[in-house]
Chain A
Amino acid sequence: MKKPSTLQLFSSFVGVAILFLSSFSTVDNHYYGDRLSSTHLKSFKDGNVNVYALKENYTTIGHSIWLTRGGAKEAKAVYFSEGDVYGKLNKWKRGKDLILTCSGAFSDDLSKTNGALPVGLNVENGYIKNRTVVKEGMDGLVIVYATGGIVVSDLTKGDLFLQSLGKKINVRKDISAKYDLLKWAEDEKATIFQTQLLAYENKLKIDYKGRKQTRERRFLAFAKTKSGTLYHIIFNFPKGEYLYDGAKKVMDHLNAKEMNVIALLNLDTGAYNVMDLKTGDYSIDAQIKGSTKVSAAVNLLSYHYD
């Protein structure tokens, strides 16, 4: 092999240096998202679950899974927030028809104390796991009822109304109200968790500050059609989106379908990126799979039919 000249070595070095530095380029503060189009992939459970491929400029960038709520047959949610969540799921799913399982809110397993703990206020099936209300950045307080329904409240508004208590609860400002909520959750065996609220009452709640990093994204939307049918919709973007861009695309997509978005939540796709869909069609399920096995999850949101 002929020995390279100094010039060749130098130009190679400069080329590598330019490539290296270009990877540290600053964040572009402009949103280039085009309106999403969707292609129907599969319908099952008597048409109550529908899977779509989401396309942008003819390129598939993700998928959405629509679960119908209301009516005689409806998808029911359950959430496991801490501990052996895989074991809990296995025990719980007996006799049920599981549709999908994914990671839910954020957990902290990096602090130097043992065991992952959910970040933000958290109650699992009546058992309090974390009493700390995160004051900034996590404005979504999610209540998963034992009946499988989900209610979302905006913590900046503090307008969570609990029928059985007959009053509005503001857990960030009223320490007594927080006690009432936790007591109620213990008595009712409710599940509560806190996460990032990206949109509420049909309005986006994040701005360009949400354009920091491209990451895999997964959102849970609660949206109603004009006729009043409620859907829980999982949006899965595995190829990397800015948080703002992903949320805006989802809002535009749902609004274009004349849907009223009640709330849009950010689900964790970090180190424990779990997504396991069971349509019965391997080619679809494999496309929408998360990078982490369900058995390694630190928290799980699951939908099923009885």
Chain B
Amino acid sequence: MVYFLNYLKKTVFKSSFWGILLMLLFPLLLRANYLEEYVAASKGTSAQVFYENLSFDSLLNVPATDQVGYYASIETVLEAHDRQADTFFLVFSEHYLKQNPVDVKDIASLERAVSLGKFLIGKETKYYAIAADYVFTTVTDAMTIGFKEETLDKSNDAILSIVAELKKQQYLVSIPTSNLDKGIHHLKKGNLKYIWSRLWFDYPVLCIVGVLSFCFVIYLMFKKVKKS
């Protein structure tokens, strides 16, 4: 029995480990191979012909883990064959967002787009910067609309961490704030003048009634104290 279990461990479990590993790496290897083969085969062709015949679909299934590593491997292949990686990623970003439109309901899709943007923004050239701007602007605009239309939950930490990451990259997502939230925010900051001015402009009659009622209560209290 022990011998049988050991045999299983050595064969089935071991082979399934390699199987899983192969299953995970195979698409990556396939994509890398495709690009390598294509780049090698199209040596000497113009950039226009290169992009016209390149199958972006074969490259757009970005692995869920180590996306940066995947992009870096593409960059390495291109540079090894004297192809401009920056122009490639500019076209790639456009194809990527066309195939994977930013969906504010799918946090993972937002995170994936942000990680592509972060890979691009770290580079120095103009086309990398433009590609990064394209990706970040698309995410920022989608999230701003999401908050406006209340399809995004502004109390969700995962969403707020994306907002913070975009802010770190100098992209501001506008989050609408209710008047009550604004009031509480400024009350905490002790900005009473602002609260009063907003109340006065929006509800003048209510303000007058409030002040009169307050004065009346003070008067009653004063009278009571005097009596006792």
* A residues apposed to B, CB below 8 Å: 16, 19-20, 22-24, 108, 110-113, 117-119, 128-135, 175-176, 178-179, 183, 213-216, 240, 270-271, 273, 291-292
Query: Given the interface contacts A112-B154, A112-B160, A291-B193, does A19 sit within 8 Å of B209 by beta carbon?
Result: yes
- Interface of chain B, helix or strand or loop or mixed? helix
| A19-B208, A130-B172, A292-B191 known, 9 other contacts, Cβ within 8 Å | A20-B206, A110-B182, A132-B171, A132-B172, A179-B130, A271-B191, A271-B194, A291-B194, A291-B197
Q: List the one stretch of B13-21, B107-115, B131-139 in contact with chain A.
A: B131-139
> How many angstroms from the CA of A134 to the CA of B172 in the assembled complex?
10
Q: Which chain A residues border B136 with CB–CB below 8 Å?
A: 131
Specify which of A117, A135, A291 is in contact with B172 (CB 8 Å cutoff): A117
Chain B interface residue bracket vs A: 35 or more
Contact between B170 and A215, CB atoms less than 8 A apart: no
Specify which of A135, A213, A291 is in contact with B202 (CB 8 Å cutoff): A213
> How many angstroms from the CA of A125 to the CA of B58 in the assembled complex?
44
Specify which of A20, A111, A292 is in contact with B209 (CB 8 Å cutoff): A20
CB contacts under 8 Å to A, within B68-95, are none
Q: Which chain A residues border B164 with CB–CB below 8 Å?
A: 113
Contact between B174 and A108, CB atoms less than 8 A apart: yes
CB of B24 within 8 Å of the partner chain: no
CB contacts under 8 Å to A, within B136-157, are 136-137, 140-141, 154
| 25 A-B contacts (beta carbon < 8 Å) | A19-B205, A22-B205, A23-B204, A23-B205, A24-B203, A110-B181, A110-B185, A111-B163, A111-B177, A112-B175, A113-B164, A118-B172, A119-B172, A131-B133, A132-B172, A132-B173, A133-B137, A134-B174, A175-B133, A175-B134, A179-B130, A213-B201, A215-B201, A240-B201, A292-B193
Chain B proximity of A112: nearest CB distance (Å): 6
Q: Which chain A residues border B137 with CB–CB below 8 Å?
A: 131-133, 175
Chain B residue with minimal CB distance to A214?
Answer: B201
> How many angstroms from the CA of A211 to the CA of B133 in the assembled complex?
35
Specify which of B129, B160, B170, B194 is in contact with A270 (CB 8 Å cutoff): B194
Chain B proximity of A187: nearest CB distance (Å): 13
CB contacts under 8 Å to A, within B159-204, are 160, 163-164, 167, 169-175, 177, 181-182, 185-186, 191, 193-194, 197, 201-204
Q: Which chain B residues border A20 with CB–CB below 8 Å?
A: 205-206, 209
Q: Which chain B residues border A240 with CB–CB below 8 Å?
A: 201
CB of B126 within 8 Å of the partner chain: yes
Contact between A130 and B133, CB atoms less than 8 A apart: no
Chain A residue with minimal CB distance to B133?
Answer: A175
Contact between B172 and A108, CB atoms less than 8 A apart: yes
Specify which of B170, B177, B185, B206 is in contact with A130 (CB 8 Å cutoff): B170
> How many angstroms from the CA of A111 to the CA of B130 in the assembled complex?
27
Contact between B133 and A179, CB atoms less than 8 A apart: yes
Chain A residue with minimal CB distance to B137?
Answer: A132
Q: Which chain B residues border A113 with CB–CB below 8 Å?
A: 160, 163-164, 167
> How many angstroms from the CA of A242 to the CA of B140 in the assembled complex?
31
> How many angstroms from the CA of A134 to the CA of B194 in the assembled complex?
26
Q: Which chain B residues border A118 with CB–CB below 8 Å?
A: 172
Chain B proximity of A121: nearest CB distance (Å): 10
Query: Given the interface contacts A110-B181, A176-B130, does A117 sit within 8 Å of B205 by beta carbon?
Result: no
Q: Which chain B residues border A216 with CB–CB below 8 Å?
A: 197
> How many angstroms from the CA of A210 to the CA of B196 in the assembled complex?
22
Chain B proximity of A243: nearest CB distance (Å): 12
Q: Which chain A residues border B208 with CB–CB below 8 Å?
A: 19
Q: Which chain A residues border B197 with CB–CB below 8 Å?
A: 216, 291
Chain B proximity of A216: nearest CB distance (Å): 7
Chain B proximity of A118: nearest CB distance (Å): 8
> How many angstroms from the CA of A223 to the CA of B197 in the assembled complex?
31
